[in-house]
Amino acid sequence: MSAAGIAHAQSTPETGSRADGRETQQERNSAMSDGEIIVTALKGGVSAQKVPVTVNIVSGDAIVSKGLTSVEQLTAAVPGVRINQAPGGLVNPVVRGLGSSPSNNSFEQTVGLFIDGIFAGHPRDYSAALFDLDRVELLKGTQSAVVGKNTSVGALTLVTRKPNFEFGAEGSYYHEFELGTDTLNAAINVPLSDSFAIRLAGLYSNEGGWMRSAFGGKDTPSVERTAVRLTARYSPNVDLDWTMSFQYADMSLDGQFFRTGIDTLGNSRRNAVLGGDTGYTLERFTSRNTFRTGFSYRGLDRIGGENDGIRLNSTLNYSFGDITLTSVTGYSEYDDIFIIDAADMVNSPVLRAGFETDKAFSQELRLATDPSKPFSLLVGGYYYHDKWTYEDLFDFNGAQMTAPSLGGAFQSSYRQTTETFSLFGQLLYKFSDRFQVSGSARAERFNKDGDYSARTIQRPGGLTIAVYGAYPAFSRTGGKSYFDYSLQGQYFITPDTNVYASYSTGTKGFGFVATPTSPGGVVTDPFFDTENSRTIEGGIKSNFAPGSSINFAVFDTRLRDYQIGVNLGTRFVIRNDQVRSRGAEAQVNLQIIDGLRASMTATYADVKKIGTLPANSIRGLPFAPKWSGIANLAYETGLTSELRLKSDVTAEFRSSQALSDATTFPLARVPGRVRTDIRLGVEHEPSGVEVALIVRNLFDVYALNYGFNQAGASGAAQVAEEMPRTIGVQASFRF
């Protein structure tokens, strides 16, 4: 399967058939129908080509074949989502030019992440390892009712592979020569009886860095990931199917994803020279990361980070007649530590360290009638409880800087509890074989409590007085009720072509800034308001020939009180802005000849703030190119009776974009770019063994994907560079 807008028909179903040949209800809801892929995130068991929403699906096989190991790498495979690196190991997911800013750790995500139907609400959850996936589903537009929890502009769903009732195993090893990356994937499926099976899967990856550290001689950032998942499935008959899984994952980051990349006024170099680094230069792929001897925070004594956590999932489906009862239970927890240098200086670093812990529990119960009937109904309830703690340490060693008033150090701590209870429902009525309407609604009660420990001053300085002063312990609390809904109408011109229109609303709850400013010891109000979204969408979907389809949609999304954070180098500005995204999307899949496929997904999104423009803010939004997408050409053919050639070329593109919302950022926009990846493999079909050459960023295109103002150096900025060209070989097997 290539990275097309709709997954190709050879993608494997989510679950394997029972040994007795009968399908379970879960399999009927998740398998393909007449060569089309079923969207499981919408809970209705409907083909992606027949749902009134824009959806992109990529198979797990495609993820592995590209050598991808983490959620932030999905930009290269999933059309329509852009995930950018940010300081502290955070990421910035964007759909249709909209996404939560990574400048505030306490934001929930505007683009919601779901793992096997379980909501993952924190930016750190996007560091999840990718392995043994059945598929990735991206739903665009406001999703308020049935995906599991409200999302403002989209939902990214990871669906892991479930055990089936046939013995099997698979694995792959990837070695990349330029950066020295090694990746190992493996899985084994064992049926213990005709009703009980287990699956054990794991990942190890050690990704090399591409920026040479001037101190220590390391290539950074290097990322090491280890993950393992055990899944058990019990299915004694066609009416009962119960899947349970346990996952442990660990991520270690050595270095950081950004460096000083802009110095228009020479202040960054001046600071470096004052600190004794007379040889300071800005060079491509050269980092100035400082590994400060003696600095330690929670046991981490280097620039970088550590994250480890567990996930437990239970999904129970029980059918009685035409009604299916589903219970989805999730629990997760993680610990995360990071240290970054936001000034990139040898003797005058600006260090920020953070420590996060999170424990989240969710329970969803729903009843659904047979979606193939003229009238179908889905109703349910959802409960979510999250306890999150965050400790922050800033150390502004600015005594030798051009802005010496930035000196000082402080430490603060914040604890947050979020509790949500909601009732939801969805109704579908088919007036005829051609015309149908549907509607959904969600009523939600949202409560949040924030407890701030007393901020302590570790070292007095100008910054601790002017921006981050000491304050006593205090608490904030609040609760609100929300009601969101959607309406869809759909008309089938032919069985293979339909037009649709939809209107949907959504809500992302209010919150409190984890690290508030406190000039002179007076705390700035840490509250940020609820984010409300509304999306209008209309489109056409058509399968016009075997293996070929074309989809087109227009959309208009309005965000009232859009939650945005801006990193100014020495402080963070948190606002509620008024924003809209308006544009169109096209998906084309062509089966040109037997074995040759072409596809392209393109998005045009005009994103801007509406109404009064906030002070010192650009009219648009950062990370919002007007044009973006993925084009793919895949060809397969038999070389001999046993050998098969598999080739794939993917071009991921975007137009120019801003990197910061602040007008003081020294680079207004970065130019557009096209990144080209190729894969050339030969498979020995009888044994299931394949060897492939993988080249990413074939033409070594240089591009920036993140930036923020450098502390203590006006006209200078820290930037994150996209990965340069890499060349690797992958060997895989499956039986």
Tell me the C-alpha distance between 720 and 724, whole Å: 12
- 188-229: per-residue pLDDT in tens? 999 999 999 999 999 999 999 888 766 556 788 889 999 999
- 565-575: per-residue pLDDT in tens? 887 777 788 88
The closest of 141, 161, 163, 166 to 152, measured between CA atoms, is 141
Judge whether 91 and 84 are in contact, CB under 8 Å: yes
Per-residue burial over 75-102, b = 16 or more CB atoms within 10 Å of its CB, e = otherwise: bbbbbbbbbbbbbbbbbbbbbbbbbbbb
Summary mean pLDDT of the chain: 87
Q: Read off the pLDDT band of 446 (50, 70, 90).
A: very high
**Residue 10: pLDDT over 80:** no
**Residue 723: pLDDT over 80:** yes
- H/E stretch holding 589 reads strand 572-593
- For residues 512, 516, 521, 523, the Cα torsion angle rounded to the nearest 10 degrees is -30
**Residue 358: pLDDT over 50:** yes
Domains (ranges, CATH) in the chain?
A: 25-734 (2.40.170.20)
- What single-letter DSSP state applies at residue 7? -
According to the model, what pLDDT value does residue 499 have?
Answer: 96
- For residues 96, 101, 107, 108, the Cα torsion angle rounded to the nearest 10 degrees is 20
3-state secondary structure 486-546: EEEEEEEEECCEEEEEEEEEEEECCEECCCCCEHHHCCCCCEECCEEEEEEEEEEEEEEEC
Judge whether 152 and 142 are in contact, CB under 8 Å: yes
Tell me the C-alpha distance between 484 and 144, whole Å: 6
Judge whether 306 and 251 are in contact, CB under 8 Å: yes
Query: What radius of gyration do the chain's Cα atoms show?
Result: 25
Q: Read off the pLDDT band of 28 (50, 70, 90).
A: very low
According to the model, what pLDDT value does residue 400 have?
Answer: 54
Strand, coil or helix: 27: helix
Amino acid at the residue 636: E
Tell me the C-alpha distance between 411 and 354, whole Å: 10
Strand, coil or helix: 268: helix
Tell me the C-alpha distance between 680 and 52, whole Å: 36
Tell me the C-alpha distance between 3 and 66, whole Å: 10
Phi first, then psi, for residue 303 (nearest 5°) are -70, 125
According to the model, what pLDDT value does residue 395 have?
Answer: 86
Phi first, then psi, for residue 33 (nearest 5°) are -130, 115
Q: Could you tell me the two tokens for 141?
A: 């537009």
User: What pairs with residue 90 in β-bridges?
Assistant: none
3-state secondary structure 146-181: CCCCCECCEEEEEEECCCCCCCEEEEEEEEECCCCC
Q: What is the pTM of this model?
A: 0.91
Tell me the C-alpha distance between 650 and 645, whole Å: 17
Q: Tokens 């596809």 label which residue?
A: 599
Q: Read off the pLDDT band of 294 (50, 70, 90).
A: low
Tell me the C-alpha distance between 225 and 253, whole Å: 9
Lowest-pLDDT range, 265-279, 286-300, 358-372, 562-576?
286-300
Q: Could you tell me the two tokens for 244?
A: 């349970």
According to the model, what pLDDT value does residue 356 have?
Answer: 92
**Residue 396: pLDDT over 90:** no
- H/E stretch holding 64 reads helix 60-65
Q: Determine how β-strand 222-237 pairs with β-strand 240-254.
A: antiparallel
According to the model, what pLDDT value does residue 24 have?
Answer: 44
Phi first, then psi, for residue 692 (nearest 5°) are -140, 150
**Residue 27: pLDDT over 70:** no
CA angle 115, 121, 125 (to 5 degrees): 60
Amino acid at the residue 466: A
